[in-house]
Structure 1
Amino acid sequence: MLMDQVGKVCNEVSQPYPLIQEKSGYSEQDPNEWVEKTIYALRELIRQFEGRPEDIEGLSFSGQMHGLVLLDEDKQVLRNAILWNDTRTTEQCQQIYHQIGEAQLLEITKNQALEGFTLPKLLWVKQYERELFEKAAVFMLPKDYLRYRLTGAIHSEYSDAAGTLLLNVAEKQWSAELCEQLGIDMKICPPLVESHGFVGKITTEISEKTGLAPETKVFAGGADNACGAIGSGILSDGKTLCSIGTSGVVLSYEERNDRDFQGKVHYFNHGEENALYTMGVTLAAGHSLTWFKDTFAANESFDQLLAQLSKVPIGANGLLFTPYLVGERTPYADSVIRGSFIGMDSSHRQDDFARAVIEGITFSLNESIEIFRESGKTIDTVISIGGGAKNETWLQIQADVFNARIVKLTSEQGPAVGAAMLAAYGCQWFDSLEQCADVFISSDKEYTPIPANVEKYRQLFLLYKQVYKQTKQLNEGLKAFRKQ
């Protein structure tokens, strides 16, 4: 995505990356695909650009978190990248707890050991691909490898490093303690820089292949959620983001590095220097709505499916939905739990089910907001982006369920805008990310909570929270009957 000095999107180009899934639970990509497709996209961007290549001053990155790329001493890729949604590492998560202990792990990394993180992947390779592991000279995260191929320089930055489970989040350095106890040579940990840090210029080869000027500056970039926060203006205390895509994220700005959430939510370094963010995740947010449409209203568009949403009363005429279609992350790290419709009767119609799905997704996200508030955070304004910001009724539902002012932005390209802002700040177009945000980000509309609706949703939310506890054992019994 190409942006100018006033935050206008000049052009966008996208390319797909094929997914490699050799076994159930495996999810990999060939890192060379990222490079080839990025070169193609940049070349296409330059071809369509009406200005001079020299006018493009800098570039940066928003990247998928947690993925593992291993390079040997010759900087060659040793195996396919293992991605964030790969679930093969349950055994290694248990090993981490056995070796480190949950309390110590939380103290150092601020996060639980989950299959998606980078450290369990490293330990899996060490255990099952030992010969390959011993050849590893450095591990990298996806965007960091791509950046290396564009510049020849190897770095990581704090927002992505925080998602490895190897970073001391408060001290902003790789944990020698964890590496030593888990038998990992610290030499394979890349040097750390700030997200807006200048890491070099593009190589002559990349300049020739893309058409970018050789003087194009490259800045470290950030994890996708950190960049989403920057691109949505989550740059001061009290600001919170609700992003509803396939999964759903509630992300809140943190100035302090010493809060104790007991692992109930993620606690990562921000893309803004010396800041952090906390984050709760609903695994099947937009995915729940897509599943419902594809299964029961395949011939309808999303607009048609939700056309009558405002006509259905709060509580969907006595129908509750829990969006646990693929398990859940926050506040229950539970891979076995599955979704439920509670309260169905023969009077319910498709519109009631659609409203229940929307409300259930929003209730799940509200569980993260509840954790934040219980820790003493004030959440009075929430920036809403993604699928949840495309429907006015859903935006009002968010305001009423969250009991907070909901702000819809004029642009929903959060992560890409955040990456562009890091480059703009790195190029010294602005004195701070906040100053950049004042220019690049603007709000479109606001939704305020309606007191009567807030009270109804408060009562419904109490019922919603009971469903997990009361269906947990049932789902454990049903697991044996699921399609393998």
Structure 2
Amino acid sequence: MSYVVGIDLGTSAVKVMLMNKQGQVIKESSKSYPLIQEKSGYSEQDPEEWVEKTKLALQEIVQENRDIAEKIEGVSFSGQMHGLVLLNQDYQVQRPAILWNDTRTTKQCKEIYETIGEEKLLQYTKNPALEGFTLPKILWVKENEPEILSKTAVFVLPKDYLRFRMTGELHMDYSDAAGTLLLNISEKTWSAEMCEKLGLDVTICPPLVESHANIGTISANFAEESGLSTETKVFAGGADNACGAIGSGILSVGKTLCSIGTSGVVLSYEPSSDLDFEGKVHYFNHGEEDAYYTMGVTLAAGYSLSWFKDVFAADEDFENLVKDVGSVPIGSNGLLFTPYLVGERTPHADSVIRASFIGMDASHERKDFVRAIFEGITFSLCESIEIFREGGKRIDTIVSIGGGAKNETWLQMQADIFNAEVQKMASEQGPGVGAAMLAAYGCGWYESLEQCANVWLDVVKTYQPNPEAVERYAELFSIYKEVYQDTKELNERVQAFRK
């Protein structure tokens, strides 16, 4: 029996999965680590935590059966995107990593637009300048910690640093590089012109590789500390969203992922970089070679529901909270919700806007509010799908994972609002499975990632759009889209009264 390992380096924990050739999870281990939040808007992490916690998780994977270590053919990675790790010429970490959810870089985003120009930036990177991306973080260090940047030999992203510590080899894959705002996405090269205009040395950008590239083997030192074998091949891996797409089978035209966690993501496969969405949605390199994906984000998707539960049903479980949603008609008896609890990302990059319930009256019950939250979250995600379709993409099959796939009513609602077939998977491991699939493909177990997906992934149920419901929801969706514009100025005016 042969195995591969997928390592998913997340924001709060690392998850390690041991999988066999049939795509079965044989064993898994997860280890958490803390955030460093010294000021409002700051979010940092000690890269050494990633290394030590990964060692512990790997030790758990192999400790019960030492023979397993010799049978692990390959290891690959999924990683939190956009985080900045700065290394000096000896490849030592110079400061804590600045993470994707750090928002201190508004000034630097403005600088990028002023220096590069919005049109030129979109031409190169196909993405707007947002605080979460890596380039604004580098510019923040340049302005506020110049002595550190002057000693920087190379920057990497979180999973790349972990992989370096496991192998001694330093690279970045295209899917993660696309989230730095320094990659020319179409040409798959670092933009020397952007670096020069922004006063950065392009040599701090690491060598680029494909996600399935074999970059080396486990070093003797890391093998001794983790229990792995020095014969185990190590593959580059990909960004968490790219690996989530692979682990959900989003590997062909027409296939789209809807993932509802704390935030919500709609991600769609694209075989080329030809489409132009004018920066309205993200456009990144896929973990599959020479493929891409478009992505829209709802900041407070599942969070909207958990917020409602914490405030109005703290002593109940989610199952009881949502059990009557199916008895509420389309439109929640005239109640409409916009999920802007923490601002919004797609299609409105707006940190000031806040959520609204529209149409409340004394007849509404709690179940109406819960149904309205379901519908509002789904409408927000549908705005990204609408942008995809208007840009020329075909959206006909949507794989739903996360909280939105745990409720039958919500799954049918997604089919009706998205006007597409919605599929529910047999199991949801997402990015970790995608990382393991990259290792399996890299080891030669399968001729393609799509072939691997056909063996490893199972669809257990499909939901078809109901024509009458599609028509009703289209009418409600048009009303939903007006709420943002109608409440934008009001939210700006009441912002001064927020705590």
Displacement after TM superposition at 1:51 (Å):
4.5
Matched, 1:271 2:309: no
Tell me which residue corresponds to 2:424. Answer: 408
Aligned counterparts of 1:401 and 1:213: Cα–Cα separation in 2: 49
Aligned partners of 2:269, 2:353: CA distance in 1, in Å? 30
CA deviation after TM superposition for structure 1 residue 266, in Å: 0.1
Alignment of 1:95-106 (within 5 A): 95-106=111-122
**Residue matched to 2:257:** 241
What amino acid is the match of 2:131? E
- Aligned residues with identical type, % of pairs: 70
Matching residue of 2:386: 370
Which piece of structure 1 moves more, 167-176 or 205-214?
Answer: 205-214
RMSD value, Cα? 0.8
Q: Pick one of 22, 36, 42 that aligns with 1:26.
A: 42
Of the candidates 225, 245, 259, which is equivalent to residue 275 of structure 2?
259
Q: Supply the distance in 2 between the matched residues of 1:53 and 1:338 (Cα, whole angstroms).
A: 50
Counterpart position of 2:320: 304
Offset at 1:50?
7.3
Give TM-score, length-normalised by structure 1: 0.99
- Give, as a single letter, the amino acid of the residue that structure 2 aligns with 1:282: T
Amino acid at match of 2:355: G
Distance 1:191 1:317 in 2: 56
Asked if 1:392 corresponds to 2:392, the answer is no
1:283 paired with 2:274, answer no
TM-fit CA distance, 1:48: 3.3
Matching residue's letter, 2:125:
T
What do the CA deviations read for 1:229-288 (whole angstroms, capped 9, x no partner)?
Answer: 001111111111101111100001011212110000000000000000000000110111
Question: Which residue pairs with 1:431 in the alignment?
Answer: 447
Separation in structure 1 between the aligned mates of residue 67 and residue 230 of structure 2, nearest angstrom: 16
Who is 2:158 aligned against?
Answer: 142
What residue number does 1:463 align with?
Answer: 479
Q: Aligned pair 1:329/2:355, yes or no?
A: no
Q: How many residues align?
A: 483
Report the equivalent of 2:63. Answer: 47
Three-state SS of the structure 2 residue aligned to 1:12 is strand
Q: Give the letter for the 1:244 counterpart.
A: I
Q: Which residue of 2 aligns with 1:338?
A: 354
Unaligned residue ranges in structure 2 (runs of 5+): 1-16
Does the CA-based 8 Å contact 2:29-2:61 persist in structure 1? yes
> Paired residue for 1:60, among 76, 82, 85?
76
Q: Which residue identity is paired with 2:243?
A: C
Aligned to 1:156: 172
Q: Give the deviation of 1:459 after TM superposition.
A: 0.7
Distance in 2 of aligned mates of 1:295 and 1:137: 49
Contact kept, 8 Å, 2:275 with 2:392, in 1: the verdict is: no
In the alignment, the residues of structure 2 paired with residue 481 and residue 64 of structure 1 have an alpha-carbon distance, to the nearest angstrom, of 34
| Shift in Å, 1:380 | 1.1
The 2-side partners of 1:129 and 1:258 are apart by 38
How many angstroms apart in 1 are the aligned matches of 2:68 and 2:41?
46
* 1:113 corresponding residue in structure 2: 129
Structure 1 gaps of 5+ residues are: none
Is it true that 1:356 corresponds to 2:381 in the alignment? no
Match of 1:446 in 2: 462
Name the SS for the 1:57 alignment partner: strand
Q: Cα deviations across residues 82-130 of structure 1 (Å, max 9, x unaligned)?
A: 0000000000000000000000000000000000000000000000001
Q: 1:48 to 1:318 in 2, by over 3 A?
A: farther
The one-letter code of the counterpart of 2:490 is: L
Shift of 1:49: 4.2
Partner of 2:140: 124
State the distance in 2 between where 1:375 and 1:279 align: 13
- Give distance in 1, aligned partners of 2:471 and 2:315: 36
